[in-house]
A = this chain, B = another copy of it.
């Protein structure tokens, strides 16, 4: 009975705890919401700025910065002229100046009050503590937290690691075949390095806590660290690959291979070279990788940022709306044209006519003949950027033909790519068929992407010195998830260890003999295991060999050893053969070589 009332009490505490947590979360959400532009009273701010230079007092402070960032330049400045004066003034400050502004608190009259107040939380916390006091000290068991990995991350167990290493090895082989060198960078960068590189996606960056010292963030991709590396070391040519984990606080979809911590496999060529030569080689490398991985039919879509710009220009989009319009086009792989059109018109401020003209172009895809046709297109042929892009595409397609991959390339005007930093060719590899796993079909879609980014390195150089770059990133997590699904469906098998020989014995107190044999085999470089028990059962030992796919066992027995013999057992055929004790290493090496030759061993 006592225990039961305790349980009820614990339940009550849990419920009250949940309530407090919810209130706190609501408060936090409200505070976040406060900072969005909708919640600000722009009229009030404008009135304030009529008599004051800044939001708080006579020097700019963090309040000005926060407000400035939230308001954006799309506001109706015609209605708020003091706000406009202040806004343009704020815009003139550099980041390093802003850093030095004093910290103050935004006057509450400038935003709508939040409705969960601290008092309410305090009230509920008091109730919670009162409940807890009813528990005697002895009742408070050490509370274990939920055992899990952080949201959007996962462990790799030995089978998953075997798959992962196998995939990565194939990719590395191709990178090396093309002469790439390997580099690595720290998992975090100074926050400033990442600032201003990812546009809207910057909100997905993981920041480290300020524990005194530098302000750090986890890397978001491997491209920006590469650019930082090149600029910092004043390197002007490099062909490198980099395989490492990157971090994005996105909404994970783990079954489809979308994680918050995930691998990128990047291959990039930096240097001032002739047009499209390295660009085409990146595509060649991608085909070799996808062929080696053998996960289904694919196409490589290519397009050119200059052509997109030229196309927008020709369709009558103002230059300052190229990037927003481009990010609308980028959604065409997921949304129908009608939706994208609506977004362009309503959110990006493109005129309906211009949108319709764009709509005609982005439907197009093909090969050289399409590029040739577009070069004669009335509108495009009058736009310098479009001609530049089309000539680039034609050269790229020609090189692809020389590389023997023409049939895998599609020139696709709807390909736009999300990232801001691309300046030339862009590409994306897409699996064209869903993958069948068991009775289910899994649609994989985009599996690699990349492009040319000629201005990124210069952003890090004090003299704005550019290093042109082109590269591609393989989306291995999707490949892992397909292969893991196949494994789970029993359609493939992997070995998680590479042991060739198990040293077994049915004899009691034979641990020392086993240890001697193991030592001999290890010293001869043979991958060997034994039981860590003194007197393991024979059946257990042989079972372990079968479970772990170990092909050979050395079986020790007292009588054989006395005659200077040992038995070698083939685990699959169960055949045993006696060999001379002193020939053991030689015999085993011969058998292992023969197994490897027949491809029976290994993953």
Contacts and interface: CB of A to CB of B under 8 A. Distances in A.
Given A140-B94, A187-B187, A192-B145, A209 B212 contact: no
Nearest to A280: B515
A143 B96 contact: yes
A59 B153 contact: no
A526 B156 contact: no
A187 B277 contact: no
A162 interface: yes
A139 to B, nearest CB: 11
Interface in A392-431: 399, 402-404
Nearest to A161: B182
Contacts of A212: 28, 32
B261 A186 contact: yes
Contacts of A402: 512, 515-516, 519
B515 A399 contact: yes
Interface string A94-112: 1111001110000000000
Count class of interface residues, chain A: 35 or more
A6 to B, nearest CB: 15
A190 interface: yes
Contacts of A161: 181-184
Contacts of A211: 206-207, 249
Contacts of A128: 100
A529 interface: yes
A277 B208 contact: no
Contacts of A529: 178-179
Nearest to A244: B245
B142 A533 contact: no
Interface in A491-532: 496-499, 511-512, 515-516, 518-519, 522-523, 525-529, 532
A271 interface: yes
Contact of A179 (B180, B213, B245, B497): B497
A197 to B, nearest CB: 13
A526 B178 CA distance: 9
A213 B274 contact: no
A193 B144 CA distance: 10
A284 B59 contact: no
A181 B497 CA distance: 5
A284 B143 CA distance: 40
A188 interface: yes
Interface string A225-262: 00011011100000010000101010000000000010
Interface in A145-201: 145, 147-151, 153-158, 161-162, 164-165, 176-190, 192-193
Given A150-B214, A157-B183, A273-B533, A100 B208 contact: no
Given A125-B59, A182-B158, A527-B176, A151 B20 contact: no
A288 interface: yes
Contacts of A518: 403
17 contacts: A32-B212, A94-B140, A94-B143, A147-B232, A149-B189, A150-B188, A150-B189, A151-B213, A153-B186, A161-B183, A176-B498, A179-B527, A186-B261, A207-B211, A273-B532, A277-B532, A281-B532
Given A59-B125, A187-B245, 8 more contacts: A101-B125, A145-B193, A150-B186, A156-B183, A161-B184, A207-B208, A273-B532, A277-B533
The 4 closest A-B pairs by CB, nearest first: A273-B532, A158-B181, A153-B186, A179-B529
